[in-house]
Every structure is written in C-alpha cells, then in structure tokens.
Structure 1
Amino acid sequence: MAQWQYKTLLVEFQKDGLLGEKYIDEDETEAVLNEEGRRGWELVTASLTPEGMMFFCKKELPPGSQQAETAEDEPETVEAEEAPDDGALGSIRIF
C-alpha cells in the first residue's frame, strides 16, 4: 500500500498600491508550482483563504522509507522577486 507525504503552499495576496485590490501573482504561482512538480510534488487541490491561495500537494514515499518531515517543522518562507511594475514583494509559505 502506498504511503504519501503531503505539503501545503500558501501564495499570499499582493496589493496593487497602498489601498489597491488584492491579487495573486499568476507568474509567481506558476513558477512555484512548476518547481514543486519537478521535485516530485503533485498538486491535489487548492483553496482560497483570507491570506491568499493554499495549495495542497502530495508525493509517494519510496517503499520502506519513513515520513521525512514532521508537523513540528517550522514553515519555510520563500520570498518572491520584485515585481517589475510596482516593486511589491509576495511570499510563499511552505509548511
């Protein structure tokens, strides 16, 4: 029976200006999901949250291996590069 490892990715909303509307940077999101796919992670589903979009991914553990990450691990934050038009920074938290 297959065993799975799971990962969540939170792509936080960015703002267009000080009081502008919130949005998800599609290029940033696509780049992160493609990178995780190259690492073997498969996107299972996505959900809108108050902070942004949460993506749920999984990958199969090799037979005989144990879960590499535990729930006690600290989330990793990956900073996005500066957006060329307004300089806003976004971030993606990997739990």
Structure 2
Amino acid sequence: MQWQYRTLLVPFQKDGLLGEKYIDEDEAEAALNEEGRRGWELVTATLLPEGLMLFCKKERQINQLPLDAVAEAEAVEEAEDAPDDGTVGSIRIF
C-alpha cells in the first residue's frame, strides 16, 4: 500500500489588538470536512507558533498517476477553486 500526504495550517486568530490567540473551530472543521470529501483522512495535528498543523493521508490507488503528478493535478484543482492568494479561507494547504 502506498500513501499520499497533505498538510494544512489553520492559523491562529486574535481576539482584539492584544487578545488571546485561538483556533477558529468552525474554519478548521470546514477545512477537514472538505478534505474528507476528497478522500483525505486526518492522521494527527500539532500546535505550531503560527497555528495548528493538520497532517492528512489517503491511499494512493494502483492505477493512479505518480505522486508528483497527483500533487500537481490537485494543486491546479485547488488553484481553480481557491482565492488568488492560494489559501482556503485562511487555511494554507501545503
């Protein structure tokens, strides 16, 4: 079995000028649900200084394009659906 991996960064939000940093749960949930519809499964998450890094995986099918071609095709698909700055909301997909 071969796997593909994807990382998503859910950046911290701030409450006010000097407010506490927090993760927008609705935004994180929406991003995870979207990736789940695309077949990605959350493996783990870790806190970084910038926010929450989510690590996802999905099985690579035998008849699927090579991993680099798949990543390129998904990047094109995401670019067509995403805002001009390459993010989904404020979540960055790597």
Asked if these proteins are the same fold (TM beyond 0.5), I'd say yes
Matched, 1:78 2:77: no
The residue that corresponds to 1:84 in the other structure is none
TM-score normalised to the size of structure 2?
A: 0.79
The residue that corresponds to 2:27 in the other structure is 28
Any unmatched runs of 5+ in structure 2? 76-85
C-alpha separation between the residues in 1 aligned to 2:88 and 2:57?
A: 19
- Which amino acid in the other structure matches residue 77 of structure 1? T
Alignment length (residue pairs): 81
Deviations 1:2-37 (A, max 9, x none): 111100000000000111110001111111101111
Please give the secondary structure, in 2, of the residue aligned with 1:69.
helix
C-alpha separation between the residues in 1 aligned to 2:7 and 2:21?
A: 21
The residue that corresponds to 1:11 in the other structure is 10
Give the Å deviation of 1:64: 3.3
TM-score normalised to the size of structure 1?
A: 0.78
The residue that corresponds to 1:87 in the other structure is none
Superposed CA RMSD in Å reads 1.9
Give 4+ residue runs of structure 1 displaced > 4 Å after superposition: none
Identity of aligned residues (%): 72
More helix as a share of residues:
2
C-alpha separation between the residues in 1 aligned to 2:91 and 2:53?
A: 10
- Which amino acid in the other structure matches residue 27 of structure 1? D
